[in-house]
Structure 1
Amino acid sequence: MAVLWTCLAVVVTLTLVPNVFGTDNAEQTENRFRDPTMVQDKGHLKEHVQELTQEQINQMSAEELEFHFFKSHDTDKNLKLDGLEIMAAIEHQHSHRQPAAEPPVPEHETPEQTRARKYREHQERLNYFTGIVDKILEQDDTDNDGMMSYIEFALSRRRHEKGVQQA
């Protein structure tokens, strides 16, 4: 079963993840699930929650925005975000901030070299995003079940806000 999940993660990543080369190191070290600009993004929420009007979204409190962010990424509706759901949320936000840019194809590259290069690039992107997901779960998955419940998500956000205000 673990092999199936690994294969699914690779397929999802290879099809969803944009080119992330050139990202700043701050993004790699921060827990993006704590960032209000990500979890309270009204435009991002409107993309995911079609039944809400823009006016309704504009009137939401920060906590309501965060709840709908969480709920909209819980694709299997089990009230928890697994690694793939977290990865999709991060990738979606990342692609809005940094549109994919295809690196130039080296001259005289053979088809075999192209396949090998693209494979390496995909592996680097997979490692990049799985590293972020692992860090988020390590920091915020307090019951160590490999998923983030809404309570864990909300508590992490509040602890972070409190820490930022005290600093």
Structure 2
Amino acid sequence: MSTQAYSSPSKVSSCSHVHRLFVLLLLIVSIILVTVPPAHAKNPINYKSEHSNYGDFHKYAQSAREHLVTQDLSQEPLPKSTEEEDLYYFFSLHDYNEDSHLDGNELMAAFTQAGEMPPVGSRLSRKDLEEMIDHALEEDDTDGDGKISWEEYLASQLYHDAE
């Protein structure tokens, strides 16, 4: 009998965690898209007054966890994680080239659906998106290399949490 036809329990478990993390990402992106008001609204979002350059991460993470708990994706409980682990996961989801930095394109992908520019008439104008990216880089890129490192991102989140 061939043993190649059977998956080890650890492989099945890791697939379950990957599936949960993917659902968490989709939920976070959906929440972000729903909470950004249309560009033509009377009181459009003022990214400069937001608590964080990346939105209220804690609110999105908590909502995503609550959603995952209600979804019976597997019999296994969702593993506990620290706030820093949640932040790192959120950061690494958008670090597509895995260089431990978020560049303008990766920030754009984080601020939009699938990294594509918003179509005409969408909730977020091209100008607003460019201003959000410029603002995040201006405030968080402390070494001036045009990218936000994990350390810079973490420092920004801790700073905004302290406010």
1:76 aligns with 2:97: yes
1:42 is displaced (CA, Å) by 6.2
Give the paired residue count: 113
CA distance, structure 1, for counterparts of residue 43 and residue 148 of structure 2: 26
Higher helix share: 1
Contact persistence 2:108–2:129 (CA under 8 A): yes
Q: CA RMSD in A?
A: 3.5
Which residue of the partner structure matches residue 78 of structure 2? 55
1:28 is displaced (CA, Å) by 2.7
Which residue of the partner structure matches residue 47 of structure 2? 28
SS of residue matched to 2:97: coil
1:27 is displaced (CA, Å) by 4.2
1:146 is displaced (CA, Å) by 0.8
1:125 aligns with 2:120: no
Contact persistence 1:74–1:80 (CA under 8 A): yes
CA distance, structure 1, for counterparts of residue 56 and residue 37 of structure 2: 22
Which structure's relative contact order is higher, taking Cα pairs within 8 Å and 6+ residues apart? 1
Which residue of the partner structure matches residue 85 of structure 1? 106
1:33 is displaced (CA, Å) by 2.0
Deviations 1:106-159 (A, max 9, x none): xxxxxxxxxxxx4xx47x711111100100110000011111000000011111
- What is the identity percentage for the equivalent residue pairs of Structure 1 and Structure 2? 25
SS of residue matched to 2:134: helix
Contact persistence 1:140–1:148 (CA under 8 A): yes
Contact persistence 1:40–1:66 (CA under 8 A): no
Contact persistence 1:81–1:149 (CA under 8 A): yes
Contact persistence 2:141–2:152 (CA under 8 A): yes
* TM-score in terms of structure 1 length: 0.55
Where does the alignment leave 5 or more consecutive residues of structure 1 unmatched? 1-16, 47-52, 93-99, 103-117
Q: Mark the CA change 1:54 to 1:33 in structure 2 (over 3 Å): closer, same or farther.
A: farther
Which residue of the partner structure matches residue 109 of structure 1? none
